[in-house]
Structures are given as structure tokens and as C-alpha cells.
Amino acid sequence: MNAIDIENLVKSFGTKKAVDRLFLQVMENEIFGLIGPNGAGKTTTLRIIATLLKPTSGKVSIFGHDVVTESEKVRELISYLPEESGAYNNLSGMEYLRFMASFYSNKGDGIDSIVKEGAEISGLEDRLKDKVKTYSKGMKRRLLVARALMIRPKLAILDEPTSGLDVYYAHYVRDIIKDYAKRRGVTVLLSSHNMLEVQYVCTKVALINNGRIVEQGDPKGLMEKYSSSNLEDVFIKVSRLA
């Protein structure tokens, strides 16, 4: 069974099609990157997968469960980190992780286990005692990525997980995602307009433009196919051919 199956997905906002007859499959345990420029339809697609938007037409299923008719079951299997997600500024990092963990367990031992996992993922150590409002943007993003992964979802959906981060923090977050997915067997779907980043993290990628998948495959194979040294060059070449 695939982690994600998307068939002929369309999402319209008025007369504009944000997603236009999109087909996509993501296998279990993949780190899959949905990449393209701003406005290409990445975030809309992720929100539909996360059950936050309903498709205009088409079918989307997560581990065999329809995102419209079985949305509650889907939500039990996923975690979702929006690009503009924030944490509660007046809580400490540890308090925030504990608060979020309480939604997934009503037992003290269960919450403690989830929080411990989140603390390890974040790598924030003693700074978890401090209030979130004292954190840099990079530290907040590490906390939020930890929140998304600590519950060990079957599918983690990460929208621009390193958006706005400097090189150091972006590298740290990429390593967190790559290492955690491998160790825990979590399927990851992430979106990014940073194609070099996706090239480093993902086992497979799909290039999206104007709401459609224009090419997909493993990064190395795509670069060989289009005689390119990186995915940015691949995307430019594919866009010209489309």
C-alpha cells in the first residue's frame, strides 16, 4: 500500500485552478519532495492531504483512507507543519512540547515519552527551560519540527520546513528530518522552493508547476536524464519543454 495516492486532483478557488489534474504516488518510508516556485500549488496540495482543504474533484487517500470521507482516520496517521506555524510565546519550550503531547496521550507515562522524544529531536537541551519568545527563528523551527515528529506519525507533512533559516539552522533541520525518518520509519512529504535542499534530503521528488506535476523521479536519475548538475537546472529545462 502506498502512503499517498492522488488521482486527478483539482482544487479551484473561483476561476483559478491552484491544482490542476494532479497525479502523485508516495511510497511508505520515502522522504518525498514536492518542489516548485511560489504559487505552483505545493501548499494547496499539502493542505488537501492534511484534510484542511477539500478537493474540488479527484481522489486523495492516505494509507488507503480517503481524506474527505475518512478525514478523522487520516488525522490519526499524520502530523502537519505549516510554513507559517508558530508556538506559544509565553510557554517554555518544554511546556509547549508537553502541551502538544497531551493531545496524543492522556497518560502521564505516554506524555513523558512523547516529550522526551521531542526534546531529543529539537536538540535545544537547556534552552527548553526558557520561554519560546526568547528563541531565535531557527530555534523555534527546531522546536516545531520536533513537535511534528515526536508523535511518530505514519506520515509527516512539512511545508517549507527550513523557510527563512540561515545556513546553520537549515542544515540542522534537514539532518533532523533525514535521520529521524530513517530511524523511525516515518514517511515524509515536504514541500520546498529550495531545490538544492530537496536534492540533499529527499529520496524521490516531483516537480510541480502551475498546479501540475511536470516530472518526477529520484534526484540523481533526474539530473542524469536532463544532463544537469542540480535540480534547479532540471526544473528550468523541464519547464521549457512543458
Residue 120 lies in a domain: no
Residue 128 lies in a domain: no
| All residues at 6 or more sequence positions from 117 whose CB lies less than 8 Å from its CB, including other chains | 149, 150, 152
Q: What is the pLDDT of residue 90?
A: 96
Residue 10 lies in a domain: yes
Averaged pLDDT score across all residues of the chain = 93
Percentage, residues of the chain above pLDDT 90: 76
CATH code, domain carrying 218:
3.40.50.300
Residue 103 lies in a domain: no
Residues 10-32: tens digit of each pLDDT: 999 999 999 999 999 999 999 99
Report which of 230, 80, 202, 197 is spatially closest to residue 145, judged by C-alpha positions. Answer: 80
Enter the pTM of the model.
Answer: 0.93
Q: How confident is the model at residue 37 (pLDDT cuts 50, 70, 90)?
A: confident
8 A C-beta contact, residue 55 and residue 11: yes
Q: How confident is the model at residue 242 (pLDDT cuts 50, 70, 90)?
A: low
- What is the span of the domain harbouring residue 219? 4-85+154-241
Residue 166 lies in a domain: yes
8 A C-beta contact, residue 55 and residue 218: no
Average pLDDT over residues 81-86: 87
Q: What is the pLDDT of residue 84?
A: 82
Contacts by 160-167 with C-beta closer than 8 Å and gap 24+?
A: 160/83, 160/191, 160/192, 160/193, 161/81, 161/190, 161/192, 162/192, 162/194, 162/197, 163/83, 164/137, 165/137, 165/138, 165/141, 166/138
8 A C-beta contact, residue 3 and residue 49: no
Average pLDDT over residues 26-42: 92
Residue 97 lies in a domain: no
Residue 117 lies in a domain: no
Q: What is the pLDDT of residue 26?
A: 97
Nearest 5°: phi and psi at 74?
Answer: -60, -45
Residues 54-64: tens digit of each pLDDT: 999 999 999 99
Residue 47 lies in a domain: yes
8 A C-beta contact, residue 4 and residue 78: no
Residues 121 and 143: their CA atoms lie apart, in Å, by: 8
Residues 138-194: tens digit of each pLDDT: 999 999 999 999 999 999 999 999 888 888 888 888 999 999 999 999 999 999 888
Whether 46 has a pLDDT exceeding 90, the answer reads yes
8 A C-beta contact, residue 36 and residue 209: yes
